[in-house]
């Protein structure tokens, strides 16, 4: 990570530069008995090879002259080292990167109930596309700055929130607001990395929902044992998709068309009944289509984990707090319906 490397080397060179100044000042005080200011001034003009003239008489002070030679040799090297990294830091835009990173952190600190997307590769690309379409707040964690920049440029969104770092590091997950997040999606190319991220995330937030990518199908059991709620194998899904295209072409075409209509943003979403306002009411009484732009209820999943889902529920079906409705409609109207069912 170039930003971190340059930043670390700049701090090291600055520490050496300041250390040399302190060393030279104390040395001149000890060897010549001069004041702090005079010793500091002598040190600065020596290590920077300015040559304005010696303010401390060292003509007959052999130890001080030897000390000055040592200071000159060390000073040239350290000064050039510090100046080179300071120039790189400023010219290459590292300062702007740090300011941008701070602004990004402030925006991330404001997020609650957001999603964390680990990885910025090809799988993450499609995830970002769908999250943006669904207006769901999220943070990307990517190790490669170029990959994250490519996401920003492709989606023409310079305000895309992201952190550059290793998601297997707990500090990066915390910085992304894991304790406040609703869910985490890890799309790293290696099963071991995804497993490590899953273990870390589950340990930091036992309530978070985790979706993990797997490359090898035999990793599914281990991933679930590590804490993943669901696992996704892209190769498996690709095979199922190809068969569906062959056997159910019109169904697949309908779903694809629905997902790609950007002007309408039609989606199939889930709406959880959180509040008490609709508890015990029937779908007919709630009047979802009339209130929320023809939002259609496709299924009702009762709050009990072992209850059987009700597909295409009748108008007389009653909903209760804790139930989940699977609905289809415009994404903006679905968001309004979520707020309604939270009352």
The string of DSSP letters for 135-168 reads T--EEEEES-HHHHHHHHHHTT-TT--EEES-TT
* Domain shared by 110 and 81, yes or no: no
Tell me, yes or no, whether 231 lies in a domain: yes
Give the domain-ending residue among 91, 119, 142.
91
Distance from C-alpha of 208 to C-alpha of 114, rounded to nearest angstrom: 10
Whether 253 is covered by a domain: the verdict is no
Order of strands, sheet of 266-272, starting from the edge strand that comes earlier in the sequence: 266-272, 324-330, 296-301, 310-311
Residue 243 in domain: no
As averages over each run of 10 residues, the pLDDT of the chain (343 residues) reads 62 85 88 86 80 68 84 81 75 64 85 92 87 88 88 82 91 93 94 95 94 92 94 90 90 78 74 86 87 86 76 90 88 86 83
Kindly report the pTM of this predicted structure. 0.61
Q: Domain boundary residue among 91, 118, 140?
A: 91
Q: What is the pLDDT of residue 4?
A: 55
Q: Is residue 256 part of a domain?
A: no
Do 117 and 12 belong together in one domain? Answer: no
Give φ, ψ of 282 to 5 degrees. -85, 165
SS3 content of the chain, % helix, strand, coil (to 5): 55, 15, 30
Question: CB-based contacts of 15: which residues, under 8 Å, 6+ apart?
Answer: none
Query: What does the pLDDT read at residue 306?
Result: 60
Determine the pLDDT at residue 94.
Answer: 57
Helix, coil or strand: residue 294: coil
In this structure, how many other beta carbons lie within 10 angstroms of the beta carbon of residue 275?
13
Query: Does residue 177 share a domain with residue 85?
Result: no
7 and 44 inside one domain? yes
Task: Kindly report the CATH number assigned to the domain that includes residue 279.
Answer: 3.30.70.1450
Task: Note whether residue 249 is domain-resident.
Answer: no
DSSP SS3 for 282: strand
Q: Which domain holds residue 310?
A: 265-341
Per DSSP, 211 falls in state E
Same-domain check for residues 145 and 226: yes
Residue 219 lies in a domain: yes
Same domain? 106 vs 228: yes
Query: The domain that contains 64 carries what CATH number?
Result: 1.10.287.70
Whether 255 is covered by a domain: the verdict is no
CATH number where 152 lies:
3.40.50.720
Same domain, 102 and 61: no
Q: In the prediction, which pLDDT does 1 show? A: 45
Predicted pLDDT at 304? 66
Residues 24 and 137 in one domain: no
In a domain, 52, yes or no: yes
Of the residues 91, 126, 143, which one is the last residue of a structural domain? 91
Structure tokens, 265: 């943003």
**How far is it, in rounded angstroms, from Cα 75 to Cα 47?**
4
Q: What are phi and psi of 158, to 5 degrees?
A: -70, -15
| pLDDT number for residue 96 | 62
Tell me what pLDDT residue 57 has. Answer: 73
Q: Are residues 75 and 102 in the same domain?
A: no
Give yes or no: residues 174 and 300 share one domain. Answer: no
Q: Number of folded domains in the chain?
A: 3
pLDDT at 194: 95
Cβ–Cβ < 8 Å for 325, 273: yes
Indicate if 199 and 217 belong to the same structural domain.
Answer: yes
Using DSSP, state whether 269 is helix, strand or coil: strand
- Same domain? 76 vs 111: no
Backbone angles phi, psi at 205, to 5 degrees: -145, 95
Count the Cβ atoms, other than its own, within 10 Å of residue 21.
17
């Amino acid at each position: 990570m170039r930003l971190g490397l340059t930043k670390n080397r700049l701090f090291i060179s600055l520490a050496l530069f300041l250390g040399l100044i302190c060393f030279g000042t104390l040395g001149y005080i000890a060897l010549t008995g001069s004041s702090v200011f005079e010793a500091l001034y002598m040190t600065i003009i020596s290590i920077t090879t300015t040559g304005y003239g010696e303010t401390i008489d060292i003509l007959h002070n052999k130890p001080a002259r030897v000390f000055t030679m040592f200071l000159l040799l060390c000073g040239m090297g350290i000064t050039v080292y510090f100046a080179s990294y300071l120039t790189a830091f400023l010219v290459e835009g590292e300062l702007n990167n740090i300011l941008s990173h701070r602004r990004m952190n402030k925006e991330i600190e404001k997020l609650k109930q957001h999603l964390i997307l680990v990885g910025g590769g090809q799988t993450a690309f499609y995830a970002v596309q769908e999250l943006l379409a669904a207006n769901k707040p999220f943070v990307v964690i990517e190790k490669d700055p170029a990959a994250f920049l490519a996401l920003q440029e492709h989606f023409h969104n310079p305000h895309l929130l992201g952190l550059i770092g290793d998601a297997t590091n707990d500090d990066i997950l915390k910085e992304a607001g894991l304790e406040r997040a609703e869910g985490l999606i890890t799309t790293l190319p290696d099963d071991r990395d995804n497993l490590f991220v899953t273990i870390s995330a589950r340990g930091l937030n036992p309530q978070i929902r985790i979706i993990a990518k797997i490359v090898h199908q035999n990793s599914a059991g281990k991933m679930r044992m590590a804490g993943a709620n669901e696992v996704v194998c892209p190769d498996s899904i690709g095979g199922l998709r190809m068969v569906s295209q062959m056997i159910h072409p019109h169904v697949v075409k309908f779903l694809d068309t629905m997902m790609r209509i950007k002007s309408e943003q039609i989606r199939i979403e889930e709406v959880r009944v959180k509040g008490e306002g609709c508890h015990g009411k029937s779908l007919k009484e709630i009047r979802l289509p009339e209130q929320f732009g023809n939002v259609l209820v496709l299924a009702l999943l009762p709050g009990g984990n072992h209850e059987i889902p009700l597909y295409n529920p009748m108008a007389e079906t009653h909903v209760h707090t804790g139930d989940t409705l699977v609905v289809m409609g415009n994404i903006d109207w679905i968001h309004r319906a979520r707020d309604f069912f939270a009352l």
